[in-house]
Structure 1
Amino acid sequence: MESKVTEIFGDMVFDETTMKARLPKETFKQLMKTIQGGEKLDPSVATVVANAMKDWAVEKGATHFTHWFQPLTGITAEKHDSFITPTSDGKIIMEFSGKELVQGEPDASSFPSGGLRATFEARGYTAWDPTSYAFIKDGTLCIPTAFCSYTGEALDKKTPLLRSMQAINKQALRVLHLFGNEDVTSVKTTVGPEQEYFLVDKSVYDKREDLIFTGRTLFGAKSPKGQELEDHYFGMIKPRVQAFMKDLNNELWKLGILAKTEHNEVAPAQHELAPIFSTTNIACDHNQLTMEIMRKVAAKHGMVCLLHEKPFAGVNGSGKHNNWSISTNTGKNLLDPGATPASNAQFLLFLCAVIKAVDEYQDLLRISVASAGNDHRLGANEAPPAIVSMFLGDELSEILQCLEEGKPYGIHEKQKMQIGVTVLPEFNKDTTDRNRTSPFAFTGNKFEFRMLGSSESIACANVFLNTAVAEELCQFADELEKSKDFQKDMQALVLKTIKEHKRIIFNGNGYDDAWVKEAEKRGLSNLKSTPEALVHILDEKNKKVLQKHGVYSESEIVSRFEIHNEGYSKVINIEAETMLDMAKKYILPAGSKFAGKLADTIASKKAVCDAADVTYETEMLTKVSSLTSEIYKKVQQLEKDVCDVKELSGDASKTAFFYREHVFESMNELRISADELETIVPKELWPFPSYGDLLFSVR
């Protein structure tokens, strides 16, 4: 099996090994300077690379190529062109030019632009990103690309991400060179995004209009059994799911995706896949591919992969844990504290940069994970609260406290884990426990940003995180480059940063109501919903930092504000329309039908025996009739809200707030009554599969 895995890994990727084998030595060397050193690409190099890439792809069975990009829809896009070129004798040859590799021109008119271009202005460009390897998917050569408008504004997720990586590289190098690290020529952020998801049987899924249209259940009474027994987490993987995971791994490995860990998650039917770290840009590309391939492989196994943040009420939703770190071209992890973190000045300075960044730009981090789906999840028992805070653990917190108070830090010896069973091997205890309630937790040599939603691209979170840290490193470098006593001034800077930004550090229980009050005392923001969060992207400090580092122009910032507000409103509107359709066509008729049966039963019993006891039927008839009437009134209210919101125009933020404050609330009210009715109506009369049917459909 080992030989098979090593043989298939990266088999469908035009990676460094393949390029080295197929490209002329000088061409390969020039391309590596672009990929690793960020040098401008020579057009002559592109021509040679294109020809070699085409030959390799055709040998692998590819007939088409596409510029694979990530528009602001949050998913990927591709337009396929064949390699064929006609010849004078009526035949064809397979060709692929350097120009076709470097630049494409897809129609941009139907992609979100947030006002960056008029609807009738259709021209857009895709530009080859050589730092992310081309790959073959479904017989098509896919070339990762950036996507921009005719006037040069970014219309995608990749371009700002590359810009943010460039920004943190520039500022981190300034700081590292102050420490004498002249051998370091590039710094890159790395990410390992854990991906949670649900699997349900397709035959059950197909009977749920809400799952088909929205990705989540809009109605559904709680199942008698959910996750109460904690028996699903890390439990034995069912054979059908294991077969899915095996095929998924094979497909991911072929594409060079470092799928490493798989297990059952907390909720029934919920699972997780975690990859090994990659450079942030590649990790983002790979995560988009992973979500796509999960859905395709699930379909082959007669299942549907649900990536919504909260497909089922009452059980845990799904997120993504964005494990983020900073590494140099020399292989050094700048967030690795080493054996003696208290005396590791370089680590402490970079740690302080992250602390300051998270504190000063907590609103940007919250914005980066804001979506209609994630609003259901943040603050619940499976996800961090909407309040951004940092967990550092006992050892780092004690070190920072000692620095602040001017006390010496006593180095603690590694403790042996005492389990109490002599036959078990001894091992060292970690210096701190993990905190699963923290939105932004230090986990040994990286930070785990736990707030991301499962269906979202990881690009935005890393754009804002990279930019915020780049800004703090820039400020540190500006101050220390003028220093005449580097060690003294550097220590003073660390101390100052700890004192001014320690409010963001919280090692306690993020689920505790007391933390909400404590966070408010500390002055931390609590942006509970997407519309509340999004308005802050237009705050002057946020616009300033994003423009300063060349990550977004002002027009690009405004466009994202418009696009995300519009996207939120569209999602809620689709959900509301789906709820109305389900309630009017299925739920109300089901309630009415059951009431009719109860009335018929009462009448028939009384006709036979006037003294017959019809207490059950009478009470149920009263309750069903009452609930049906409630549902009808709530349907009318939701219809009114949906109608009223359509009268708002021209203000995306105002519309989003109306959806949140009125439509969303009316949807919740409707669901309460409908879910109660489901607990009364006989199963054969209820029009949809229940939560029990869905959560335990894969056996």
Structure 2
Amino acid sequence: MSHPFEIFGKYLFTDATMKERLPHPIYKRWKTSLTHEAQLDSKTADAIAHAMKTWALELGATHYSHWFQPMTGKTAEKHDAFLEPGDDGEPLARFSGKSLIKGETDGSSFPNGGLRATFEARGYTYWDISSPAFIRNHVLCIPTIFISFNGDSLDKKAPLLKSMDALSKQSTRLLHLLGEKDVTSVTPVLGQEQEYFLVDQKHFQKRLDLKLTGRTLLGKSPAKGQEAEEHYFGSIPQRVASFMQEVNLELWKLGIYSRVEHNEVAYGQFEIVPIYAPAHIAIDQNQLIMDILKQTAPKHGLACLLHEKPFANINGSGKHNNWSLVDNLGNNMLDPSENPQDNLRFLLFVCALMKGIDQYPELLRMASSGAGNDHRLGANEAPPAIISMYVGSDLERLLYFIESGDVKDWTNGNTMHSPLNNLKALPKEASDRNRTSPFAFTGNKFEFRMVGSSRSAATTNIVLNTLLADALAYISDEIESSTLTDLKANALNVCQKIIAKHKRILFSGDGYSENWLIEAKRRGLPNLTSFAESIDSLIEPKSVRLFERHGVFNHKELEARAEIMHEQFIRSITFEAKALLQMVRTQILPSSVKEVTLHLPLSAAGIAYSVDMVEKFSTWLSQTNHEVNELEKMLNRANLIANLRERSLFMHQVIRPQLNCIREVVDSMEGYMSKENYPIPTYTELLFQLDD
């Protein structure tokens, strides 16, 4: 029996596969196109298409597809068969360079924010030559970007690639000023920790809210909760372990280094972690990971929930964005080295991040979130919605020493440490891990913990890349225009100015505390409590200037994205409201009437318990019926609000509280309703039956 690792990358058209199957001149031309040294010509494209088709057919592929990431946040694909009639009428497998490079689809049928009308439907997909093709379900999937007939971006991939180019350009410019002339590119490298819940499929099918919205709109907390602190890193249930093994095999076939799996804090919650990859490839891989998690779960009698908050009063799920920068020589820009006080590269990049994050916190809040993430952020389980930056005590001291001009007096607090006498001492980490910080330094990378579990991380990384590129451009301008001749003095002088102006975002305390809310307000840091409030940060003049300055978005593309986000937020809350109305009217209220009917004879006989139950349920029934009728009226009012921003805020400020009001009453009923009459699976059944 072969080892599972032997199938690693079998269905991925890797660099090694291309080198093996392509004529050397063709392979070299593709490599030079990757580094923007030359454009890919039609002859090269034809040769690559032929090799790709031959490889795919050998592995059983029957179709090909341009695989892209529209502004739904998910992936899209249309399958075309390789098979077509030859000149003699006989079947022939064909795949040309033209078919590889370019495809056409209906741009108006995807979210487009007005960039495409029904009568102007044409949209194009173009091959992203830097992302390897792969085979899934007998389909050769070719990663592509998606643009309109006029060239406007209709997807998440094209602006991500543009932001990476902008960051590489400005990083390389600064490194050349520091004397690192051999550097030709800098790439953001990304590792994403994907959290998710699993529930039994038979219970999932009985919950309309889970099926339609991904989260429970009703449900009383179980008697035993995560405060037992026994699930995290605990023994994985056998059915879940089998599911995880199949997920791993599917990912390994696609060349995805799925490395870590474990129980998370909440019951029924788990995590999968792949190894780092260039940001655009890591984001492609995460889309595949989410898809494979969802598709594999039913094979094991499970349903996978990727929503940020499937269960009230229980930890939600995130997608931690572990982010660093590596040049073409393998140097990590965020590695402090043994002597960070002398590491100008590291200090300048950290200061650039301080500047960029402090200037555009609203963009990061918008980019990391969505309707579901509002339930998670600031709920003592995830970072607050206030953007701050944690760098660790030693580095923070160093930054303040630089600000004061006395960097020579700073001493490194790192020591050698061993917890056991029989183990050799190892260097102590440069910083602790502050789980309450949105943007935390963890040794040689930053961990951005705000990203929601169901979200594509593309928008988050577009914003991160662009704001850093902008700050690096400022630093390079300052160094170039300075009259200081000593490079170190020049660089530290720039750092000094940045720290003095932007140190307000440095925070190493408890981000969950009330004191931080007060302190953040004193510092002037924004606290956007909802996604709806953050959306229009995308079209503020300073944001438009930022993205246009670096060629990532134009103003039309930004306006389109803001419109789409408002529409998606409104749609999400509307679905929740309609699902709740249906559940309450067709399940909860009829079941409550049954419960009252059960107690009426005993209540008439004077049995105190039944008298109490009839009184309680009569009150709850009246209250619930009134509140659902009010919710329906509110939805009708919402539909009359033409302005998308105003309607988004109405959904957040009016509809959401009403959903919670109804939930509160129904959850009270659940606590008293007999098991036979309660119509939907409870939290106890959903969270504690994975071993069955």
Structure 2 CA distance for partners of 1:483 and 1:110, relative to 1, 3 Å: same
Letter in 2 for 1:82: A
- Deviations along 1:320-347, one digit per CA (max 9) or x if unpaired, are 0000111100000001011111111111
- 1:376 and 1:59 mapped to 2: Cα distance? 48
Shift of 1:182: 1.1
Instruction: Show the counterpart of 1:590.
Output: 591
Question: Structure 1: which amino acid aligns with 2:686?
Answer: L
Check whether the contact 2:220–2:671 (CA below 8 A) recurs between aligned residues.
Answer: yes
Question: Secondary structure in 2 aligned to 1:567?
Answer: helix
Match of 1:622 among 601, 615, 621: 615
Aligned to 2:657: 665
Aligned partner of residue 126 in structure 2, secondary structure = strand
Q: In 1, distance between residues paired with 2:42 and 2:647?
A: 47
Question: Identity of aligned pairs, percent?
Answer: 48
| 2:554 partner amino acid | S
The offset of 1:600, in angstroms, is 2.2
1:576-655 equivalences under 5 Å are 576-603=577-604, 606=605, 614-649=607-642, 651-655=643-647
Kindly provide the amino acid, as one letter, of the partner of residue 451 in structure 1: M
Deviation at residue 14 of structure 1 after TM alignment: 0.5
2 CA distance for matches of 1:329 and 1:226? 48
Aligned 8 A contact 1:342 1:409 in 2: no
| CA distance in 1: counterparts of 2:112 and 2:355, whole angstroms | 32
Other-structure match for 1:540: 541
Counterpart residue number, 1:674 = 666
Q: Aligned equivalents of 1:403 and 1:235: distance in 2?
A: 45
Q: Which runs of 5+ in 2 are unaligned?
A: none
C-alpha separation in 1, matches of 2:629 and 2:238: 46
Tell me the equivalent position of 2:211.
Answer: 212
Question: Residue 656 of structure 1 corresponds to which residue in structure 2?
Answer: 648
Cα distance between partner residues in 2 of 1:345 and 1:487:
7
- Give the equivalent residue in structure 2 for 1:495: 496
Secondary structure, counterpart of 1:514 in structure 2: helix
In structure 1, what is the Cα distance between the partners aligned to 2:601 and 2:30? Answer: 80
Question: Contact (CA 8 Å) 1:12, 1:255: kept in 2 or not?
Answer: yes
Aligned to 1:50: 49
> What SS is found at the alignment partner of 2:226?
coil
Distance 1:374 1:30 in 2: 44
2:369 touches 2:450 (CA, 8 Å); kept in 1? no
CA distance in 1, matches of 2:5, 2:108: 43
Report the residue type matching 2:665 in the other structure.
S
Shift in alpha-carbon separation, 1:414–1:526, aligned structure 2, 3 A: closer
Q: Report the Cα offset of residue 431 of structure 1.
A: 3.0
Counterpart of 1:35 in structure 2: which amino acid? L
Report the CA distance between 1:413 and its aligned residue.
Answer: 5.9
1:400 aligns with 2:399: yes
Asked if residue 20 in structure 1 is aligned to residue 13 in structure 2, the reply is: no
Mean CA deviation greater in 617-626 or 563-572: 617-626
Check the 8 A contact 1:327/1:334 in 2, yes or no.
yes
Task: Please tell me whether the aligned partners of residues 191 and 323 of structure 2 are also in contact (alpha carbons under 8 angstroms).
Answer: yes
Name the CA distance, whole Å, in 2 between partners of 1:249 and 1:663: 41
CA–CA separation in structure 1 for the residues paired with 2:158 and 2:43: 24
Instruction: Tell me how far apart the structure 1 counterparts of residues 29 and 10 of structure 2 sit (CA, whole Å).
Output: 24
Counterpart of 2:165 in structure 1 is 166
* CA displacement at 1:5 relative to structure 2: 4.3
| Contact kept? 2:602, 2:611, Cα under 8 Å | no
Q: 1:417 to 1:489 in 2, by over 3 A?
A: closer
Indicate conservation of the 8 Å contact 2:64/2:80, yes or no.
Answer: yes
Structure 1 Cα separation of the partners of residues 512 and 518 of structure 2: 12
Aligned length: 688
Question: Structure 2: how far apart are the matches of 1:43 and 1:480?
Answer: 43
The structural deviation recorded for 1:128 is 0.2
- 3-state DSSP of counterpart to 2:560: helix
Corresponding residue of 2:415: 415
SS at match of 1:248: helix
Aligned partner of residue 451 in structure 1, secondary structure: coil
| Residue type of the alignment partner of 1:132 | S
For 1:411, the aligned partner's letter is: T
CA distance in 2 between partners of 1:599 and 1:121 (Å)? 64
Task: Give the Å deviation of 1:36.
Answer: 3.7
Q: 1:37: Cα distance to partner?
A: 4.3
**Cα distance in 1, alignment partners of residues 37 and 634 from structure 2:** 52
Task: Kindly state the Cα deviation for residue 122 of structure 1 after the two structures are TM-superposed.
Answer: 1.4
Q: Deviations over 1:528-581 (max 9, x none)?
A: 001111122221111110111011000000000100000000000000000000
CA distance in structure 2 between the partners assigned to 1:536 and 1:103 by the alignment: 34
Closer/same/farther in 2, CA of residues 670 and 279 from structure 1, 3 Å limit:
same
* Distance in 2 (alpha carbons) for counterparts of 1:413 and 1:308: 41
> Which secondary structure state, in structure 2, belongs to the residue aligned with residue 321 of structure 1?
strand
SS at match of 1:465: helix
- Deviation at residue 489 of structure 1 after TM alignment: 2.1
1:607-648 deviation digits (Å, cap 9, x = unpaired): xxxxxx511111111111111111111101101101111112
Q: CA deviation at 1:90?
A: 3.1
Query: 1:423, 1:45 → 2: CA distance?
Result: 59
Is contact 1:37-1:186 (8 Å) kept? no
> Does structure 2 retain, via aligned residues, the 8 Å contact 1:105–1:124?
yes
For the 8 Å contact 1:370–1:534, the answer to whether it is kept is: no
405-414 vs 439-448, greater mean Cα deviation: 405-414
In the aligned structure 1, how far is the partner of 2:640 from the partner of 2:397? Answer: 56
Judge conservation of contact 1:370–1:533 (CA < 8 Å) in 2: no
- Are 2:689 and 1:697 aligned? yes
CA contact (8 A) 1:384 1:438 kept: yes
- Tell me if structure 2 keeps the 8 A contact 1:193–1:320: yes
How many angstroms apart in 1 are the aligned matches of 2:380 and 2:523? 23
Task: Measure, in 2, the Cα distance between the counterparts of 1:179 and 1:4.
Answer: 48
Partner of 2:678: 686
- The 10-residue stretch of structure 1 (660-669 or 406-415) with the greater mean CA deviation from structure 2: 406-415
| Shift in Å, 1:424 | 5.8
Q: Which amino acid aligns with 2:61?
A: A
- Counterpart of 2:512, as a letter, is Y
Conserved 8 A contact 2:539-2:555: no
Distance 1:144 1:559 in 2: 23
Q: Distance in 1 between the 2:195 and 2:323 partners?
A: 17
Structure 1 runs not aligned, ≥5 long: 607-612
Distance 1:77 1:418 in 2: 51
> In structure 1, what is the equivalent of residue 121 of structure 2?
122
After TM superposition, the structure 1 stretch with the greater mean CA deviation from structure 2, 197-206 or 473-482, is 473-482
Structure 1 residues 436-475: aligned runs within 5 Å: 436-475=435-474
Partners of 1:32 and 1:424 lie apart in 2 by 46
Give the corresponding residue for 2:574: 573
2:331 counterpart residue number: 332
Q: Distance in 1 between matches of 2:33 and 2:644?
A: 40
Q: Which residue of 2 aligns with 1:609?
A: none
Equivalent runs, 1:244-393 vs 2, <5 Å? 244-393=243-392
Partner of 1:223: 222
Equivalent residue letter for 2:415: Q
2:611 and 2:422 map into 1 onto residues whose CA distance is 66
